Chain A
Amino acid sequence: DQQVKQNSPSLSVQEGRISILNCDYTNSMFDYFLWYKKYPAEGPTFLISISSIKDKNEDGRFTVFLNKSAKHLSLHIVPSQPGDSAVYFCAASVIRGYSTLTFGKGTMLLVSP
């Protein structure tokens, strides 16, 4: 049973437009959420996170929104750039000190010039 789901395997966006990547979770115990970006032949790179006490967190072009009642989060990238083309993983954990991450299967984002 997948506890973290990214239902869109891929997304294509034009440069300069907004990219919206979605993630759903089923485990109501999750209270910390992260987005990672992964280029081919590299490890995942931490992008942005949000805890369940917030509903929005911004870092430059990246904003993560959390809707706890819907168990849904999204990553917005504005404006999108060709260098953003990568696989984006959503991950969730329980805040209790050190804890494991549960990952979605990823969404491949392609930003075309």
Chain B
Amino acid sequence: DSGVTQTPKHLITATGQRVTLRCSPRSGDLSVYWYQQSLDQGLQFLIHYYNGEERAKGNILERFSAQQFPDLHSELNLSSLELGDSALYFCASSVEAAGVETQYFGPGTRLLVL
């Protein structure tokens, strides 16, 4: 158990809908990263938040947005869903020690868009 929690574990929805994925980082971790893993793909970085502020954006579609709240949990909002958005969505929180950072991943949310 990494200490990172994600809800829901599974989500089935229809095209055009909007969903919210939730992530709670490990206690004390200020950073939250979101990744998408599609079929036969590695993990693709979406977005990074640190202590409530957006730090970096990766391959995140404009239909997707995220935020990190004062209690440090984060939500990833996916709107106008398309079939191709079906994927595993992981969040990770990180700790920095001796100048290097290690990311610890949650169990993921499996999204199926029908």
Contact = CB atoms under 8 A, between A and B. Distances in A.
A46 B2 CA distance: 9
A4 to B, nearest CB: 8
B71 interface: no
Nearest to A32: B100
Closest 10 CB pairs of A and B: A43-B105, A103-B42, A105-B42, A103-B43, A44-B105, A100-B45, A43-B107, A43-B108, A43-B106, A98-B31
Interface in A1-26: 4
A5 to B, nearest CB: 10
B34 to A, nearest CB: 10
Identify whether the interface residues of B are mostly helix, strand, loop, or mixed.
strand
Interface residues of B, number: 31
Interface in A51-77: 51
Interface in B84-114: 90, 92, 94, 96, 99-108
A49 interface: yes
A21 B2 CA distance: 24
Interface of A: 4, 32, 34, 36, 41-46, 49, 51, 89, 91, 93, 95, 97-106
Contact of A98 (B40, B48, B105, B108): B48
Nearest to A6: B42
B102 A46 contact: yes
Contact of A42 (B31, B40, B99, B107): B107
Given A32-B101, A89-B42, A91-B43, 10 more contacts: A34-B102, A43-B107, A44-B105, A46-B2, A49-B100, A99-B56, A100-B58, A103-B35, A103-B42, A105-B42
B66 to A, nearest CB: 14
Contacts of B35: 103
